[in-house]
Chain A
Amino acid sequence: MSSHSIELPRWIDLVVLPVFNLMLALLVAGVVVWSVGLEPLQVIRLLLKGAFGSAVGWGYTLYYATTFVFAGLAVAVAFHGGLFNIGGEGQATMGGLGAGLVALALAAHWPAWALLPAMVAGAMVFGLAWAAVPAALQAWRGSHVVITTIMFNFIAAALLAWLLVNVLKAPGNMTVESRAFGPNALLPGMHQMLGALGIAWPRTPLNASVLLAALACVMVWLVLWRSRAGFALRATGFAPEAARYGGIAPRRQVMLSMMLSGALAGLVGVNEIAGVHNRLLPDFVAGAGFAGIAVSLIGRNHPVGIVLASLLFGALYQGGAELAFEMPGFSRDMVYTLQGLIVLFAGAMAMVAAPMFARLHAALTRRGAAGG
């Protein structure tokens, strides 16, 4: 029996409460914005316009959202398995490296229709492998993934930097990046795909990875809730003792959930390296791994919520960039502030307003019942 168990109908829990929390975050952000001398309403208007007001805006928003979807799915899958994978940053880095290495090795010889799937596979394998080591340490030695995955983030960044500087750097080039892979290693951009259908679309980083992200959402949902592997994973995450009783091997589940998580994080590399940059460069992940944690948290670890949260964060990034451009005095870092506030109100403090809503709901239904 729990004390103060809050009973909330599902629709309040999943819709009203998150929207309320979001409004609260925006309110506080508005106060912050106002305190530096800017006009909050104008900020919001420009933000929305920047993110959704034009095809270019949409392109960028969706491109960012794609990365967040992969990162968010990664965290969600591990979470369902009872593990807090905060190594998305490192796994994404390695995923990009995997895609890049495949491209560097095979771009000269393979046609695009074979090379691109190989790059995707490379990204997933590298991401998976990077998560497998902390997973094994957790499963066999009890080393907590929270600690090991954070460490592996640093190792991944250092590894990429070292490779770029010492091995992969294009000779004669000043910038620290590899040579370009070539056109057959580049995923078709959205402008190209829509152009083939006769629809005009401006050139943006948005590329075929967004379709991959949609597919990943569907697959994750199917695997988690419709497959035997997903059943075992969720059982282990919720009730490890019951899972063991049910014949499920806990170590195996730790490995599987982390590896799937790492593979999903690795797909960030596909969006960035194979979808946009067409070369390896340092820090292409740029904090997306950590944003994925926030996205998953706000999205309640469910693909649908993750998509919505990713769109929100993508809009913030794109809208924030526009704002920095249009409004003097608005720095990009404001976006991070807003992000942080959203995570605070919609993630960490999500349940603070719940008792209030529960009482409101009870009072309204009681009055309704009495009134007839």
Chain B
Amino acid sequence: MHGIDKRFGAVQANAAVDLTVAAGSVHGIVGENGAGKSTLMSILYGFYQADAGQIEIEGRPARIDDSHDAIALGIGMVHQHFMLVDTLSALDNVMLGAEPDWRLSRAREKVRAGLQALIDDTGLAVRLDLPVEELPVGERQRLEILKALYRGARILILDEPTAVLTPQETATLFETLRRLRGRGTTILLITHKLKEIMVLCDAVTVMRGGRVVLDTPIAQTGLDALAQAMVGRRVKMGREDQPHRAAAPADAEVLLRAEGLGWRDALGVPRLAEVSLALRAGEIVGIAGVTGNGQSELLDALSGLLVPQAGTLELGGQRFTPAHWITPRRARELRLAHVPEDRHQRALVLPFPAWESAVLGYQDRPRYARAGWMRGATMRRDTAEMMERYDVRPRNPQLRSSKFSGGNQQKLVLAREAQLQDRPPRVLLVGQPTRGVDIGAIEFIHGRLRALCEGGGAVLVVSSELDEILALADRVLVMNGGRIAGELPIERCDEAALGRLMGDSAAEPAPAAA
């Protein structure tokens, strides 16, 4: 790709981007949120058209107006959110849209033969006849790769592939990718995870602010250089760089206590089983575990969005039982704030302008309400201030929430929950605080979480990033199958110990969890 430009309104998403990928290599594309890497790959796959620039595939100029053109050129994409039909079998999913025969039974035979050959060749093990909803996440991802390869992909784009995988599954994926590379497939890997880049890739391109800032073979670079290129300055990660923070004294006040929380979903599957925990002032408790093991349900129960069938909750001197459970409104009154995992469905109203999303949950506070009317000017002023403090870009309170990049949306939500009260919250529940957030902002967010604790608050962090849990938490609870599988103080935590607790009985999450 030469000289790619792409502008969305006021934002120059790509500026004069050059990308050269050697055939049969694994090429990493790294960058902060809003750096332009997703846009670049979307242009390559035909979702957008570049304003300027040319694309050459295998030496020949290419015109890619939509994904059909891309597929015809041998480009395949595996998205972060899988594009599979849950109720159809794996085989049918591969066949969908590319049926070789109008008689389905004949078509299936042909596809099966072709797929089996691919499976044998690449080692991508997928059970073809099960409905997708019964397949674990790792297998679904392999299916997505098979789908792309079946359509003749010689160039494979993978968007944040390891976001949903356990460490073991990640290792399996990397093995697969190496095998594919051996077959001559070219692989483009979009990821935040610098460690993965160093382990897997042959070359890497770092983007920042819509431009390419570093383009180098892996052998000639290292983790620090990549991080620095991404952010433009030196980055502090991990505990070693943090000033030593005294752990909360064991007799600090208990701000939140949950006992015996239990909840079964509509199908009778227990999503929470006898979950008990206590949050003390000044501590950060991390909940580790593969997504789908009850972490979401736990956060929802504690914040009032889900009423458990069993258990009690004590918060702010009040006791709640399933008959009279806490509500989101009451929770906020008791100074509990919640940054939801799913920021698109929950934390923001995407069509609303930023200033309206920024007061969601607080719109009835005296500061923003005068009789029945909203104090729009005050809300906008506060939003501007929040944006300034949390470095949300672009600094436009009137811009639609959906137009902000994921990381900036997250910063806005965090600003709202951590700031937008008369006093800081006493308890902050955070789900996946830095999902989709760039390294510079991760630093900042972690800093704010720690500051909250130093001020006497407590933070409960749910994260699928072990590094994040290890960097932040004073003690770590691991959830597995709706239960707390174990608790470890931070000194005794390492990836191996946690991985074992996480991967214990169910390495794969329960079906139809996400």
Interface residues of A (CB under 8 A from B): 1, 3-5, 7, 226-229, 231-232, 234-235, 238-239, 241-247, 362, 366
5 sampled A-B residue pairs with Cβ under 8 A: A1-B79, A242-B345, A245-B303, A246-B328, A247-B332
A1-B38, A241-B345 given as contacts; is B47 within 8 A of A228 (CB)? Answer: no
How far is A242 from B345 in the complex, measured between Cα atoms in Å?
6
> Within 8 Å of chain A (Cβ to Cβ): is B372?
yes
Binary flags per residue of B157-192, CB closer than 8 Å to A gives 1, else 0: 000000000000000000000000000000000000
The reply to whether B67 and A3 contact each other, CB–CB distance below 8 Å, is yes
The reply to whether A229 and B372 contact each other, CB–CB distance below 8 Å, is yes
CB-CB < 8 A to B345: which residues of A?
239, 241-242
How far is A157 from B242 in the complex, measured between Cα atoms in Å?
74
The reply to whether A239 and B350 contact each other, CB–CB distance below 8 Å, is yes
A245-B328, A246-B361 given as contacts; is B352 within 8 A of A234 (CB)? Answer: yes
The reply to whether B42 and A1 contact each other, CB–CB distance below 8 Å, is yes
The reply to whether A238 and B369 contact each other, CB–CB distance below 8 Å, is no
Within 8 Å by CB of A241, from B8, B47, B346, B364, lies: B346
A369, closest chain B residue (CB): B51
The reply to whether B51 and A231 contact each other, CB–CB distance below 8 Å, is no
A7–chain B nearest beta-carbon distance, Å: 7
A99–chain B nearest beta-carbon distance, Å: 27
> Within 8 Å of chain A (Cβ to Cβ): is B66?
yes
Q: By CB atoms of chain B within 10 A, which of A239, A243, A366 has the most?
A: A239
User: For chain B, which range describes its interface: under 10, 10 to 19, 20 to 34, or 35 or more residues?
Assistant: 35 or more
How far is A366 from B364 in the complex, measured between Cα atoms in Å?
47
Binary flags per residue of B359-395, CB closer than 8 Å to A gives 1, else 0: 0110110000100111010000000000000000000
A234–chain B nearest beta-carbon distance, Å: 7
How far is A197 from B247 in the complex, measured between Cα atoms in Å?
81
CB-CB < 8 A to B9: which residues of A?
7
Instruction: List residues 1-15 of chain B with CB under 8 A from any CB of chain A.
Output: 8-9
How far is A6 from B108 in the complex, measured between Cα atoms in Å?
36
CB-CB < 8 A to B42: which residues of A?
1
The reply to whether A228 and B369 contact each other, CB–CB distance below 8 Å, is yes
Within 8 Å by CB of A227, from B66, B79, B346, B373, lies: B373
The reply to whether A7 and B349 contact each other, CB–CB distance below 8 Å, is no
Within 8 Å by CB of B349, from A3, A4, A242, A362, lies: A242
CB-CB < 8 A to B351: which residues of A?
238
Within 8 Å by CB of B361, from A5, A229, A239, A245, lies: A245
Within 8 Å by CB of A232, from B340, B347, B363, lies: B363
Within 8 Å by CB of A246, from B47, B363, B376, lies: B363
The reply to whether B328 and A235 contact each other, CB–CB distance below 8 Å, is no
Interface residues of B (CB under 8 A from A): 8-9, 38, 42, 47-49, 51-52, 66-67, 79, 303, 305, 327-329, 332, 338, 340, 342, 345-352, 356, 360-361, 363-364, 369, 372-374, 376
CB-CB < 8 A to A243: which residues of B?
349
CB-CB < 8 A to A238: which residues of B?
349-352
Cβ-closest 10 pairs across A and B: A247-B329, A246-B361, A246-B360, A239-B349, A247-B328, A241-B345, A245-B346, A242-B349, A238-B351, A238-B349
The reply to whether A242 and B347 contact each other, CB–CB distance below 8 Å, is yes
Q: A7-B9, A238-B350, A247-B364 are in contact. List 4 more A-B contacts (CB 8 A).
A: A3-B66, A243-B349, A246-B360, A366-B52
How far is A231 from B348 in the complex, measured between Cα atoms in Å?
13
A3-B67, A235-B352 given as contacts; is B347 within 8 A of A245 (CB)? Answer: yes
Within 8 Å by CB of B372, from A1, A227, A239, A246, lies: A227
How far is A239 from B338 in the complex, measured between Cα atoms in Å?
17
Within 8 Å by CB of B47, from A1, A229, A245, A247, lies: A1
How far is A7 from B376 in the complex, measured between Cα atoms in Å?
28
Secondary structure dominating the interface of A: helix
A310–chain B nearest beta-carbon distance, Å: 25
CB-CB < 8 A to A3: which residues of B?
47, 66-67
Q: By CB atoms of chain A within 10 A, which of B49, B66, B364, B369 has the most?
A: B364
How far is A242 from B360 in the complex, measured between Cα atoms in Å?
8
The reply to whether B373 and A228 contact each other, CB–CB distance below 8 Å, is yes
CB-CB < 8 A to A5: which residues of B?
47-48
The reply to whether A228 and B363 contact each other, CB–CB distance below 8 Å, is yes
How far is A70 from B279 in the complex, measured between Cα atoms in Å?
54
The reply to whether A235 and B360 contact each other, CB–CB distance below 8 Å, is yes
How far is A213 from B372 in the complex, measured between Cα atoms in Å?
22
A232, closest chain B residue (CB): B363
How far is A242 from B402 in the complex, measured between Cα atoms in Å?
14
Q: By CB atoms of chain B within 10 A, which of A4, A238, A245, A362 has the most?
A: A245
CB-CB < 8 A to A242: which residues of B?
345-349, 360
The reply to whether A235 and B349 contact each other, CB–CB distance below 8 Å, is yes
How far is A48 from B97 in the complex, measured between Cα atoms in Å?
50
CB-CB < 8 A to A245: which residues of B?
303, 305, 328, 338, 340, 346-347, 360-361
How far is A231 from B358 in the complex, measured between Cα atoms in Å?
12
Within 8 Å by CB of A226, from B48, B352, B374, lies: B374
How far is A229 from B342 in the complex, measured between Cα atoms in Å?
25
B403–chain A nearest beta-carbon distance, Å: 11
CB-CB < 8 A to A228: which residues of B?
363-364, 369, 372-374
B214–chain A nearest beta-carbon distance, Å: 25
Q: By CB atoms of chain B within 10 A, which of A4, A227, A232, A242 has the most?
A: A242
How far is A235 from B357 in the complex, measured between Cα atoms in Å?
9
B161–chain A nearest beta-carbon distance, Å: 16
The reply to whether A4 and B328 contact each other, CB–CB distance below 8 Å, is no
Q: By CB atoms of chain A within 10 A, which of B47, B327, B347, B349 has the most?
A: B349
B3–chain A nearest beta-carbon distance, Å: 14
How far is A231 from B356 in the complex, measured between Cα atoms in Å?
8
Within 8 Å by CB of A247, from B342, B349, B361, lies: B361
A131–chain B nearest beta-carbon distance, Å: 21
B17–chain A nearest beta-carbon distance, Å: 18
CB-CB < 8 A to B340: which residues of A?
245
How far is A4 from B64 in the complex, measured between Cα atoms in Å?
13
A359, closest chain B residue (CB): B49
CB-CB < 8 A to B329: which residues of A?
247
A366, closest chain B residue (CB): B51
A63–chain B nearest beta-carbon distance, Å: 33
The reply to whether A226 and B376 contact each other, CB–CB distance below 8 Å, is yes
CB-CB < 8 A to B364: which residues of A?
228, 247
